[in-house]
């Protein structure tokens, strides 16, 4: 009988000290691979030269395995670089009024990009942000790092956004055609 033969072989292997593993069925939701997150981004200010590239049309966010992401769409920039300054600040102040805008979180990142939220020729709004208010269409519920995001101002060709994060964590800034991307890591 096959069952008896299998049991006998199993007993011989066990007595001989050879480990026999029986695969257990996978359960739903079990982690299959560990995610390796990049390191070395740092938390110091990051800048790129100011350029006259176009108008901001949208700000959106996404959560990833290792970081939370904020994307600034400046489609008229094409493939040209978008000027920016991204840095941690002690408090977020609206440009040019100097009015303090409260931002929730353990740390605040100020993002300034050389792309106004209005058409520079017609002065019509291209992005509906309002000073001191939450970013339109941005819901940060469930994010691991992002806590709050508010529009500062768009003044003299520069748009300003305050981003509240859980703690002072490393971040990186990158550019894609027509987009500026700010990633903030979940951990050091």
In 3D space, the residue among 77, 94, 170, 157 whose CA is nearest the CA of residue 120 turns out to be 157
| Residue 109 domain flag | yes
| pLDDT for 26 | 46
Partner residues linked to 93 by β-bridges? 100
Residues in Cβ contact with 182 at an 8 Å cutoff, skipping those fewer than 6 apart: 69, 70, 71, 72, 86, 109, 111, 163, 171, 172, 173
| Residue 99 domain flag | yes
| Residue 10 domain flag | no
Contact between 84 and 161 under an 8 Å Cβ cutoff? The reply is no
Helix, coil or strand: residue 72: strand
- Residue 114 is given by DSSP the state S
In 3D space, the residue among 8, 126, 7, 1 whose CA is nearest the CA of residue 73 turns out to be 126
What's the Cα-to-Cα distance from 43 to each of 92, 133, 152, 172, 188, rounded to whole Å? 17, 26, 21, 8, 10
CATH code, 160: 2.60.40.3500
Helix, coil or strand: residue 144: coil
| pLDDT for 172 | 97
Total domains, the chain: 1
The residue with greater pLDDT, 51 or 44, is 44
| Residue 177 domain flag | yes
| Residue 6 domain flag | no
The pLDDT tens digits for 105-136 are 999 999 999 999 999 899 999 999 999 999 99
DSSP string, 31-60: --SPPPPP----SS-EEE---------EEE
| Residue 11 domain flag | no
Domain that holds residue 96: 46-185
| Residue 134 domain flag | yes
The residue with greater pLDDT, 80 or 104, is 104
What does the pLDDT average to over 59-65? 97
């Amino acid at each position: 009988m096959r069952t008896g033969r299998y049991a006998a072989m199993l007993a011989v292997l066990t007595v001989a000290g050879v480990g026999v593993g029986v695969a257990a069925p996978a359960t739903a939701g079990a982690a299959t691979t560990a995610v390796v997150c990049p390191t070395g981004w740092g938390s110091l200010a990051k800048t790129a030269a100011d350029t006259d590239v176009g108008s901001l049309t949208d700000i959106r966010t996404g959560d990833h395995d290792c970081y939370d992401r904020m994307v600034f769409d400046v489609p008229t920039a094409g493939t040209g670089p978008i000027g920016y300054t991204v840095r941690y600040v002690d408090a977020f102040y609206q440009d040019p009024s100097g009015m303090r805008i409260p931002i929730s979180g353990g740390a605040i990142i100020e993002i300034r990009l050389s792309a106004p939220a209005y058409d520079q020729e017609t002065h019509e709004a291209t992005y509906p942000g309002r000073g001191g208010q939450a970013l339109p269409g941005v819901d940060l519920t469930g994010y691991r790092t992002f806590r709050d995001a508010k529009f500062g101002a768009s003044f003299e060709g520069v748009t300003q956004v305050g981003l509240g994060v859980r703690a002072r964590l490393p971040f990186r800034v990158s550019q894609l055609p027509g987009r500026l991307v700010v990633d903030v890591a979940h951990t050091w």
